[in-house]
């Protein structure tokens, strides 16, 4: 992958050159291109297979968990906003006559066809958000999945394999600190004991939160039988970079996900008076933290990686008190594991050196780690063939449930153009025509994989 690591803009060597013919186009394939032109986005999917239109679904979801001041979404796992999203998913499933179920880990499933038949094709994404997240990260994949099913029904396509739509729980990890909890549990990449230890900022444990939301936390655990019944998982997602905008394509296919992880840095100092404590007498963990943030930026830049302290807590958090404790969470990602190791080791070394000078105690805990994901080539090639030649293939620095599941089943991803590349922000955006192109591309893929 190239040195610019920040987003999906990283184009791996195996990606085809941008196709100039697509410059003004919105669509992934000839089929999608012509269809998108013929179908106005407003009303897309209306009256097809009894489901709501894309627009209707989008409108229904829009107010759920949206903060009135920031206009960002706060759909955190097992909160009332999450419950409302789940109720919406269930209503979509039931309005289409799909078989609805919640698995042992709280992931939702809507089935067309018999789940027990095996070799199912599954699509979907997640409905939870980061703090003040955008409307598209996750929901675009779920809404597009229902709309694609409506489109298949409109086409009169007949399923030859079971087809399911999913909403994986707690993908962002905004509340309990660990991303992709639902898919990790299912894939056996998170132990039940570790899941039970997860706590939110108020000390509420994951089991308590699940129980309060009406789910059985004692049921959680690996679900190999469920995974064994799935032949392919395809997740559609808004792009979180500008590669498609730069190439002039509405839709692309994922090649790989960078290895990434989260580390908690606890800087313990000594609380004291901000007005009377001489500078030389202080043990100020905020100073150590500040130097560590600068080191993270420096080391990431040197290595062509990314490193972010996006979340901190400070105790006692008083304006006239030197803090006793600063906690900072580092998120770091790189194109390969050894670069990531080098960056994180260098950041920790810099933090320890500074901590020594400041009289601060430092502990560093790795809270999560996801190794590099290379999406299965056979499925990727099959999807590329279905969608027609020249579709761009992109790497990404963002984590996804498809990446977690790729260790257990063949998975693939479709990305939909994001003209600004902004994500994890209320400004996240995808144009209406591109959303339609995404739905049609997904419908083409599902038809190619699961229909006669
Ligand atoms: C999920 O969106 C992540 O990459 O953090
Ligand atoms: Mn996200
Ligand atoms: Mn996402």
Residue 206 in contact with ligand 1 by CB distance below 6 A: no
Whether residues 114 and 228 fall in one domain = yes
Whether residues 353 and 391 fall in one domain = no
pLDDT at position 26: 25
CA of 125 to the centre of ligand 2 (A): 10
Integer angstrom CA distances of residue 417 from 177, 194, 248, 338, 441:
28, 36, 9, 30, 13
CA of 269 to the centre of ligand 1 (A): 31
Residue 323 in contact with ligand 1 by CB distance below 6 A: no
pLDDT at position 53: 83
193 is annotated as contributing to ligand binding: no
Residue 11 located in a structural domain: no
pLDDT band for position 447 (50/70/90)?
very high
Residue 95 reports pLDDT greater than 80? yes
Residue 195 located in a structural domain: yes
Residue 452 reports pLDDT greater than 90? no
Residue 157 located in a structural domain: yes
Closest ligand 1 atom to Cα of 400? 1
Whether residues 229 and 193 fall in one domain = yes
320 is annotated as contributing to ligand binding: yes
Whether residues 194 and 226 fall in one domain = yes
Average pLDDT of 202-208? 98
pLDDT at position 116: 96
Of 77, 132, 172, the one to substitute when testing ligand 1's pocket (max ligand atoms within 8 A of C-beta) is: 172
Whether residues 236 and 190 fall in one domain = yes
Claim: this prediction has a pTM higher than 0.95: no
Residue 402 located in a structural domain: yes
- Written as six digits, the tokens of 285 are 């963990």
pLDDT at position 450: 98
Residue 399 in contact with ligand 1 by CB distance below 6 A: yes
Which residues are in the CB-under-5-Å shell of ion ligand 3? 137-138
Distance of CA 27 to the CA centre of its chain: 23
pLDDT at position 41: 40
Q: Is the peptide bond before 316 cis (omega within 30 degrees of 0)?
A: yes
CATH for 340:
3.30.70.360
pLDDT at position 83: 98
CA max distance for the chain = 78
Residue 101 reports pLDDT greater than 70? yes
Residue 31 reports pLDDT greater than 60? no
Return the closest-CA partner of residue 271 out of 279, 286, 288, 283: 283
Are the C-beta atoms of 128 and 82 separated by less than 8 Å? yes
pLDDT at position 15: 29
Please identify which residue in the block is written with the tokens 């269930």: 90
Whether residues 78 and 103 fall in one domain = yes
Closest ligand 1 atom to Cα of 171? 1
CA of 87 to the centre of ligand 2 (A): 21
Residue 13 located in a structural domain: no
CATH for 179:
3.40.630.10
Q: Which ligand is nearest to the CA of 134?
A: 2
Average pLDDT of 296-304? 98
Q: 368, 402, 417: which is the final residue of a domain?
A: 368
333 is annotated as contributing to ligand binding: yes
Whether residues 350 and 401 fall in one domain = no
Q: Is the dihedral of CA 274, 278, 282, 285 positive or negative?
A: positive
211 is annotated as contributing to ligand binding: no
Average pLDDT of 280-296? 98
Average pLDDT of 357-370? 97
CA of 186 to the centre of ligand 1 (A): 18
- For 214-249, write each residue's pLDDT tens digit: 999 999 999 999 999 999 999 999 999 999 999 999
Average pLDDT of 129-135? 98
Q: 338, 368, 398: which is the final residue of a domain?
A: 368
Residue 316 located in a structural domain: yes
Residue 429 located in a structural domain: yes
Residue 257 in contact with ligand 1 by CB distance below 6 A: no
Residue 12 reports pLDDT greater than 50? no
Residue 278 reports pLDDT greater than 80? yes
Whether residues 241 and 309 fall in one domain = no
The percent of residues in the chain predicted with pLDDT above 70, rounded, is 88
Q: What is the mean pLDDT of the chain?
A: 90
Q: 343, 368, 393: which is the final residue of a domain?
A: 368
Ligand 1 atom 1 nearest Cα? 399
Whether residues 252 and 229 fall in one domain = yes
- Written as six digits, the tokens of 424 are 């994890």
Closest ligand 1 atom to Cα of 260? 4
Residue, of 203 and 12, whose pLDDT is higher = 203
Closest ligand 1 atom to Cα of 331? 5
Whether residues 307 and 422 fall in one domain = no
How many structural domains compose the chain?
A: 2
pLDDT at position 397: 96
Whether residues 415 and 310 fall in one domain = no
CA of 18 to the centre of ligand 3 (A): 25
Residue 134 reports pLDDT greater than 90? yes
Q: Which domain range does residue 267 map to?
A: 261-368
CA of 311 to the centre of ligand 3 (A): 19
Q: Which ligand is nearest to the CA of 425?
A: 2
Residue 158 located in a structural domain: yes
- For 381-404, write each residue's pLDDT tens digit: 999 999 997 999 999 999 999 999
Average pLDDT of 421-441? 97
Closest ligand 1 atom to Cα of 240? 2
Whether residues 246 and 271 fall in one domain = no
What is the rounded CA–CA span in Å between residue 148 and residue 92?
13
Residue 5 in contact with ligand 1 by CB distance below 6 A: no
What is the rounded CA–CA span in Å between residue 3 and residue 17?
18
């Amino acid at each position: 992958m190239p040195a610019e690591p920040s987003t999906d803009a990283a184009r791996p060597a195996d990606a085809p050159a941008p196709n100039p013919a697509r410059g003004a186009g919105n669509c992934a394939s000839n089929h999608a291109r012509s269809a998108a032109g013929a179908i106005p986005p407003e009303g897309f999917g209306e009256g097809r297979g009894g489901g709501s239109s894309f627009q209707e679904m989008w409108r229904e979801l829009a107010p759920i968990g949206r903060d009135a001041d920031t206009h960002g979404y706060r759909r955190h796992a097992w909160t009332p906003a999450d419950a409302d999203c789940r109720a919406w998913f269930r209503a979509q499933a039931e309005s289409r006559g799909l078989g609805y179920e919640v698995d042992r880990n709280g992931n939702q499933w809507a089935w067309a066809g018999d789940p027990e038949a095996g070799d199912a094709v599954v699509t979907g994404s997640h409905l939870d958000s980061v703090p003040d997240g955008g409307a598209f990260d996750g929901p675009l994949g779920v809404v597009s999945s229902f709309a694609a099913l409506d489109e298949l029904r409109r086409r009169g396509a007949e399923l030859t394999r079971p087809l399911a739509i999913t909403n994986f729980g707690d993908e962002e990890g905004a509340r309990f600190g660990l991303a992709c909890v639902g898919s990790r549990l299912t894939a056996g990449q998170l132990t039940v004991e570790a899941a039970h230890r997860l706590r939110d900022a108020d000390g509420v444990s994951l089991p308590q939160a699940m129980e309060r939301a009406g789910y059985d936390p004692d049921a959680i655990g690996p679900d190999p039988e469920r995974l064994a019944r799935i032949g392919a998982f395809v997740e559609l997602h808004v792009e979180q970079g500008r590669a498609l905008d730069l190439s002039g394509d509405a839709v692309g296919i994922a090649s790989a996900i960078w290895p990434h992880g989260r580390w908690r840095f606890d800087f313990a100092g000594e609380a004291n008076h901000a007005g009377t404590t001489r500078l030389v007498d202080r043990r100020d963990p905020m100073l150590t933290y500040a130097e560590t943030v600068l080191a993270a930026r420096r080391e990431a830049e040197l290595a062509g990686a990314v490193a972010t302290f996006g979340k901190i807590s400070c105790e006692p958090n008083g304006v006239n008190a030197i803090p006793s404790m600063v906690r900072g969470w580092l998120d770091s990602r790189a194109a390969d594991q050894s670069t990531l190791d080098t960056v994180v080791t260098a950041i920790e070394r810099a933090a320890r050196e500074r901590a020594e000078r400041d009289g601060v105690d430092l502990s560093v805990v790795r809270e999560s780690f996801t190794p590099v994901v290379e999406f299965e080539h056979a499925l990727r090639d099959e999807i590329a063939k279905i969608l027609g030649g020249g579709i761009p293939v992109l790497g990404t620095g963002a984590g996804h449930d498809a990446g977690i599941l790729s260790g257990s089943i063949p998975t693939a991803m479709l990305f939909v153009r994001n003209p600004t590349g902004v994500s994890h922000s209320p400004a996240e955006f995808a144009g209406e025509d591109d959303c339609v192109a995404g739905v049609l591309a997904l419908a083409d893929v599902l038809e190619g994989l699961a229909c006669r």
